[in-house]
Amino acid sequence: MTKKGKKITIIPVSKYKTGLLESKNVRSIKEELINVAAYCRVSSSSEEQRMSYEFQKKHYEEKIRKNPSWNFVGVYSDVKSGLNADNREGLMQLLKQCEMGKVDYIITKSISRFGRNTLDSLQIARKLRQMNIGIYFEQQNIDTLTMDSETLFVIHASLAQENSERISNDVKWGL
């Protein structure tokens, strides 16, 4: 192809590179950015938790905006949300955005921040994976679009749920 006497070579984009992984499981895209969102959650509104919450939001917004292959979609979050996903408005809003095709990838701090109910977390991860939407858990270095991630995910999610239940029982016993 030529334009005003200059030869132009078009190199098609065949896979997207998230900067986190280059996987054969990741869908092909046209020449567009990957829509990336972050999910943050803290379990209380204490001063320490508020500081963690603000740090998480700032960290992920900067991380996403710095990657030239990513389009920052937003930070979705919940405070004092409990065990079940249904009680987390921020997560439910994020999942709606995913279903509408507005989010391609989610980044979050850890599996325990994503959810503390193993069944809920696994069902959400599987549903998103079927839509070819990945979740990257930074602390565990787990990407749900890789083949070996589900086993690791279930182990970590189970540990997070057990820890949450232990803390809850300790608090009840203390009262």
Q: In this predicted model, what pLDDT tens digit does every residue of 86-120 receive, in sequence order?
A: 678 899 999 999 999 999 999 999 887 787 677 78
User: Between the CA of residue 66 and those of 61, 62, 69, 98, 142, what are the distances in Å?
Assistant: 9, 6, 9, 22, 21
First to last CA, the chain: 76
**Tokens 């972050």 -> residue:** 38
pTM of the model: 0.69
Distance, CA of 30 to CA of 27 (rounded, Å) = 10
Asked whether the beta carbons of 30 and 13 are under 8 A apart, the reply is yes
In this prediction, residue 85 has a pLDDT band, given cuts at 50, 70 and 90, of low
Helix ranges (H only) for 67-174 are 89-99, 111-114, 118-130, 149-174
The model's pLDDT over 43-71, given as tens digits with 9 standing for 90+, comes to 777 788 788 888 989 999 999 999 999 99
Q: How far is CA 84 from the centre of its chain?
A: 17
Nearest CA among 51, 109, 50, 108 for reference residue 80? 50
Q: Give the amino acid at 2.
A: T
